Amino acid sequence: MVGDLFNPFSGETSILPTCATAERIMTVTVRLNHTIIAAQDKEKSSLFLTGILGFPAPSLIGPFAVVQVSDDTSLDFMDTDGEIASQHYAFLVDEYEFDEIFGRIRDRHLPYWADPYRHKRDEINTWDGGRGVYFDDPSGYLLEIITRPYGSGGTTTSQPHPLFAQPLGHEDHEDHLFDRQAKRGRQASRLQAEV
């Protein structure tokens, strides 16, 4: 029906998006599906990533070497002749996976660092009560594996993440989301009334 909203992740249709007004909690259905990563050699970079992280081999689809990193998210490597801008990709792993991946980094004699500035070479960090390490891919991207999300240890952990801080404009952002959700609800109601 006109004005109905379909949620492709739950398969549900509703006139208004899910919203718990009293708690100002929103259901957001936006998810990252893929991103394109420029590479000097798409096959070399995609095979490096799958080999280090233990993902299935990449698939060649059109101009892309596609690395499936989760059920619904891929990194699509594409060759470029141009200069590659610095990028950073962090992967959340469990403790067992960290040991496996870090072992492959060391077995390949890859340089690694405890920090994104590459000051603490041949060290890992223990921020947020977990472990993390940074290393480069063949195109020069800074890759990272972490066992705890940034800020998850709070400020009371023995090694809080140095970047941990309150979100920029957190209260304003929450109000913006609520206002946007309310606007969508009004639009859906108007469309429903027109039918």
Higher pLDDT, 26 or 153: 153
Which range of residues forms the domain containing residue 91? 86-175
Answer whether residue 136 shows pLDDT above 70. yes
10 lies in a domain? no
Q: 119 near 113, Cβ under 8 Å?
A: yes
Please classify residue 74 by burial: count the beta carbons closer than 10 Å to its beta carbon, then call 0-12 exposed, 13-18 middle and 19+ buried.
buried
Confidence band, pLDDT 50/70/90 cuts, at residue 19: very low
Higher pLDDT, 191 or 73: 73
Answer whether residue 179 shows pLDDT above 70. no
Answer whether residue 191 shows pLDDT above 60. no
Q: 164 near 157, Cβ under 8 Å?
A: no
Q: Domain total for the chain?
A: 1
The pair of three-digit structure tokens given for residue 114, joined into one six-digit string: 């405890």
Inter-helix orientation angle 95-107/42-53, to 10°: 130
135 lies in a domain? yes
152 lies in a domain? yes
139 lies in a domain? yes
Confidence at residue 170, expressed as pLDDT on a 0 to 100 scale:
52
In terms of pTM, does the model score above 0.85? Answer: no
40 lies in a domain? no
165 lies in a domain? yes
The helix/strand/coil state of 60 is strand
Angstrom distance (rounded) from CA 160 to CA 148: 11
Higher pLDDT, 89 or 21: 89
Confidence band, pLDDT 50/70/90 cuts, at residue 12: low
150 lies in a domain? yes
2 lies in a domain? no
Section 140-153 average pLDDT: 92
- CATH number of the domain at 115, please: 3.10.180
**Highest mean pLDDT pick, 14-28, 92-106, 153-167, 181-195:** 92-106
Confidence at residue 150, expressed as pLDDT on a 0 to 100 scale:
86
Section 132-161 average pLDDT: 88
**Mean pLDDT lowest among 95-99, 101-105, 158-162:** 158-162
The Cα-based distances of 11 to 5, 72, 80 in angstroms read 10, 16, 39
